[in-house]
Amino acid sequence: MLDTVNEFLVYLDSISLSIGAVSISVLDVSRALFLGALVIWAGIWINRRGINTIKRQKRFDVRTKEVLSKVYQVLIFCFVAITLLQLLGINLTTLAVFGGAVGVGLGLGLQSIASNFISGIIILIDKSVTVGDYIELDDGSKGWVREFRMRYTILETYDGKDIVVPNEKFISCTFINWSHKDPLQRYRVDFSVAYKTDIRHVVEIIKEAVAQHPQVLSGDKVALELRPDCEIDSFGDSGVNLFVEFWIEGIDDGKNRVGGDLNLIIFETLREHGIEIPFPQREVRLL
Domain boundaries, given as residue ranges, for the chain: 12-126, 134-177, 184-272
Residue 207 pLDDT: 92
Higher pLDDT: 207 or 88? It is: 207
Binned at pLDDT 50, 70 and 90, residue 24 comes out as low
8 A C-beta contact, residue 192 and residue 242: yes
Q: Tell me the residue length of the chain.
A: 287
Domain 12-126, second-level architecture: Orthogonal Bundle (1.10)
- β-strand partners of 192: 241
| CA 172 to chain CA centroid, nearest Å | 15
> Are domains 12-126 and 134-177 of this chain identical in fold?
no
Binned at pLDDT 50, 70 and 90, residue 28 comes out as low
Taking only the tens place, the pLDDT of each residue in 135-164 is 888 888 888 888 777 778 888 888 888 888
Higher pLDDT: 147 or 269? It is: 269
Taking only the tens place, the pLDDT of each residue in 74-90 is 777 777 777 776 666 66
pTM (predicted TM-score): 0.56
Most confidently predicted of 42-51, 209-218, 256-265: 209-218
Binned at pLDDT 50, 70 and 90, residue 19 comes out as low
Given CATH 2.30.30.60, say whether it is the number of domain 134-177.
yes
Q: Which fold has domain 184-272?
A: Alpha-Beta Plaits (3.30.70)
Q: What is the mean pLDDT of the chain?
A: 77
